Structures are given as structure tokens and as C-alpha cells.
Chain A
Amino acid sequence: MTKTETIQAQSIWQLLGEVYDPEVPVLSITDLGIVRNVEVKPGNEIMVTITPTYTGCPAMDVISMNIRLKLLEHGYKNIQVRSVLSPVWTTDWMSEAGKQKLKAYGIAPPNPGQQVCHPDLFQEDESVQCPRCNSYHTVMISRFGSTACKALYKCNDCQEPFDYFKCH
């Protein structure tokens, strides 16, 4: 990319920080770490590369559309959004700011270096901090939750049920 194209790509990154996940509306797609690349090609052709959090994530189509709309709004015309599967998304790509926003929204952010992604049975569940009262005295209610990326927990201290961004 030439210097102008690099500068353009930077401003596109900033705009993508204003495109939100339809399922978790406090998180932008850059907070979530699903934007993998922005490329500006000669002739102002823009290629945005995204990756799904989960294989079957139904939000991907909406996200592609929202990226397109956001860029159109700011005068970009020749926009391609493509989805790649490799390398595989991990919760480690979520930004620190994103994790704080999740917590404030009432969803427990993923623990750093999650350990539950292997097939041993009846493992002890990771200790997850309640996003409301910060207690670690919590219990998993359901391994699967309201969206593909979350599990359901309950706090034994403040009694609130909450979503946890599960291991991935």
C-alpha cells in the first residue's frame, strides 16, 4: 500500500471501531478482535477481512452488512468484505477495553488463558468473577447460553444470573 492508502486504511480501522456486534451491542467489532485486516488497493478498492467467533455465528451476515453501510456512509464505494476461518479466532484477541465494556454491561469477560477447551470429562469449572459484585463465589448453570459464544452462570453471593464469554 502507498502512503495515502495506509492513511486511508487507518481511518477505516477507526470507522470499524464504530460498528457494533448486534448480539452484544456494547462491543465494537474491533474490540471483539474479529477484524483481521483492512487493505486499500489501487483504485480505492477496499478489502475488509473478518473472522467469525463461532462457525455458526448468525451475526456474521449482519456484521458484514453493517461494515458496508458504515463505510458507504463515509463516502467509500468499492467495498469488499470477506470472511476467513484461519487463523482461528480466540478470546485472547478481545481488547482490554472490550473486556471492561463487557463487564460493565453485565457479561463476565473471558478469563485470560482459559483452560477448559479440552475433552476431559467432569472437570472443575473455572472460577468466574461475577460482573456485578466481583465475587468469585459463582456457579455454572448451563454450559451453553443465549448465544453461541456464551455460557450461563449464577453468583452465589448477589444471586444474579449472568452470561460468561465461554472458552474458545
Chain B
Amino acid sequence: MTDLFKYTVHLADNALILGHRNSEWTGHGPILEQDIAISNIALDLIGQARNFYQYAAQMQEGDRSLSTDVVSEDTLAYLRDAHEFRNCLLVEQPNGDWGATILRQFFFSAYQFYLYGQLQHSKDEMLASIAAKALKEVTYHLRWSAEWVIRLGDGTEESHNRMQHALNDLWKFTGELTQPAAFETQLVKEGISVDLAIIQPLWQEKVTAVLSEATLAGTDAKLDKAWMQTGGKEGRHTEHLGYILAEMQFLQRAYPGSTW
């Protein structure tokens, strides 16, 4: 398994798992317009996941010695177990209330915005074109989610408290977004993956600005020193991922190869 394969699957898993989480809101959004919005974002993310998985599957097809089974975007999504997933812990966290979902989306969209902004210049043409395509959509997600963080954080007492609660819960999962895993380090040198040290301060600046406009406490040094939970990129997940997979993969596990 090459570093490029691991990296591509990592990008795909991030998009798939958050896309799946967001899709849990479809039909349950607080108002119709926002139900449509979160479902559309889910669709965009799953589209990104498909592009990355298709690319990763091509790589494995090229190295058939690894396995005699056919690798496809579907086998990557539906037939791997939790420890083989390389998504960040943030995206697998439960939806919680609408505020927590919005904040999680904002943290992630801000990360994707800077990540894809760099990745579109990758020496790997396929990764570059997937990123360039998705960047326009991610820009839209970032704008939407940041506006909602401000609206809710600086809204009523109830919405403010809920956002503060979500921030306290989710913050510990944000450090991992910009901490490189072993498979990224070499790829950075080759000009393929994004140097997360470049995007970390950009992410921090954006998040600090939005949280402070949203009147949410904790944008100071206290959060900078906070302890961060990591491990997702290397396959060590919170308990929540297993439950997501149990639901998402059930059909393909129970009826292998079935199609719609």
C-alpha cells in the first residue's frame, strides 16, 4: 500500500464519512431550506469521495499482486472495516443538535478550503483536478456554515449556549486536521500532498475570526493549549465510526454485490 494510496483514501474517507453524517439530516432539518442545504453539502462531499475512491481503486488495480479481488470505489467504501478508515475523528462525531452539526461543518469546510486551495497545485494531476473542481463547492460550504456559526453564536441565549456547548465538545478533534500523518510527510517532499504547516495558521486565523464574531468564548490561548485527540488518520477511531459503518455497509455485507 503506497503512501499515495493511503493519502487518497484518507481524503476520500473524510468526505464520505462527513457526507454520510450530513445525510442523516435529510428530512429532519430544522427548516426546509436548511434541510436542503445540508443535504446538498452531503451530496457534494459524497461526490468528492467518489472521485478520490475511483482514483485509489485505479492505483490498486495497477498492482494486482496485492489481491485477486477487484478493487472499486464501492469495495473501498463498503468493504473495509473501521481500522482501515483514515478519516479524521472530527467527521465521525455524532450530529448532536443543529448547532453542533453546523460547527463541525464549519471547522471542516475551513480546513478543506485551504487544503484544496493548495492541493489544486499538486504535482499529482488527478488529485489536483479533483481539488480544483471541489474548491468552488467548498467555498460555498464555508460561506454558508460560517454565516450560520455567527448567526447562532450571536443569536439568542439558547442558541448561544448550544453553540458554546458544541465548541467545548468538538474542539479537541480539530487539532488532527492539520497534523500530518506518517504517509503525508514523504508526499509533501515530493510536492504531492499539502504541507499542513502552511494551512494550520490560515485555518486558525479564519476560525478565530468567525468564533469571535459569533461571541463564542475560547478563541484565546486556552484553546491553543488544549489537549487534542488524534489517531483517525492511522485507523484509531472513536466508537462512533463502527456504528456509522454498521448502517452504511449493511446492505453490501448482507447481500454482497447487490446493485440498485
Partner of A148, one of B40, B50, B51: B40
Which of B70-78, B84-92, B127-135 touches A? B127-135
Q: Does B147 contact A (CB under 8 A)?
A: yes
Neighbouring A residues of B41 by C-beta, 8 Å: 144
Query: Which chain B positions have C-beta within 8 A of A142?
Result: 33, 36-37
Question: Given A86-B132, A86-B133, A168-B136, do A57 and B143 touch, yes or no (CB 8 Å)?
Answer: no
Which secondary structure characterizes the binding site on chain B? helix
Tell me which of B37, B128, B137 contacts A143 (CB under 8 A): B37
Task: Flag if A148 contacts B44 (CB, 8 Å).
Answer: yes
| Closest chain A residue to B139, Cβ basis | A119
- Judge whether B171 is part of the interface by a CB distance below 8 angstroms: no
Task: Find the A residue at minimum CB distance from B44.
Answer: A56
CB <8 Å contact, B37 and A54: no
- B51 contact set on A, CB distance < 8 A: 55, 85
Residues from chain A with a CB closer than 8 A to the CB of B46 are 56
| Size bin of chain B's contact surface | 20 to 34
Q: Is the CB of A119 within 8 A of B113?
A: yes
Cα–Cα, bound, A89→B40 (Å):
18
**Per-residue B-contact encoding for A90-129, CB less than 8 Å = 1, 0 else:** 0000000000000000000000000001111110000000
Is B48 a contact partner of A55 (Cβ separation < 8 A)? yes
Q: Check A119/B143 contact, CB under 8 A, given A57-B47, A85-B130, A86-B128.
A: yes
Instruction: State whether B47 touches A121 (Cβ < 8 A).
Output: no
Q: Which of chain A's residues 19-62 have a Cβ closer than 8 Å to chain B?
A: 52, 54-58
Q: How far is the CA of A57 from the CA of B133 in the complex (A)?
A: 12
Q: Is the interface of A mostly helix, strand, loop or mixed?
A: loop
A107 to chain B: closest CB distance in Å? 16
Q: A88-B133, A144-B40 are in contact. Are A118 and B47 (CB under 8 A)?
A: no
The answer to whether A122 and B147 touch (CB under 8 A), given A54-B137, A86-B132, A88-B132, is: yes
> What's the nearest-Cβ distance from chain B to residue A50, in Å?
13
The answer to whether B133 touches A119, judged by C-beta atoms less than 8 angstroms apart, is no
Further contacts, 7 of them, CB under 8 A, given A142-B37, A152-B33 = A55-B48, A85-B130, A86-B133, A122-B147, A144-B33, A166-B140, A168-B136
A148 CB contacts on chain B under 8 angstroms: 40, 43-44
Contact of A145 with B by CB under 8 A? yes
Name the residue of chain B whose CB is nearest to the CB of A58: B43
Which residue of B is nearest A56, CB measured? B47
Tell whether, in the assembled complex, residue B36 and residue A55 are in contact, meaning their CB atoms are under 8 Å apart.
no
A84 to B44, CA, bound (A): 17
Determine the distance from Cα of A108 to Cα of B97 in the docked complex, in whole angstroms. Answer: 35
A166 to B44, CA, bound (A): 14
Flag whether B9 is at the interface (Cβ < 8 A). Answer: no
Whether A145 pairs with B36 at a CB distance below 8 angstroms is: yes
Chain B 130-159, CB-CB to A under 8 Å as 1, else 0, gives 101110110110111011001000000000
| 8 chain-A/chain-B pairs, Cβ below 8 angstroms | A54-B137, A55-B48, A57-B47, A85-B132, A86-B132, A119-B139, A143-B140, A145-B36
Indicate the member of B40, B132, B210 with the most A CB atoms within 10 Å: B40
Q: Tell me which residues across on chain B come within 8 A of A54, comparing CB atoms.
A: 43-44, 47, 137
B211 at the interface (CB under 8 A from A): no
Q: How far is the CB of A148 from chain B (nearest CB, A)?
A: 6
Q: Determine if B146 and A117 form an interchain contact, defined as CB atoms under 8 angstroms apart.
A: no
Interface centre among A55, A58, A89, A119, by most chain B C-beta atoms within 10 angstroms, is A55
| Bound: A57/B137 CA distance, A | 12
Pick the most buried of B47, B48, B113: most chain A CB atoms within 10 A of its CB: B47
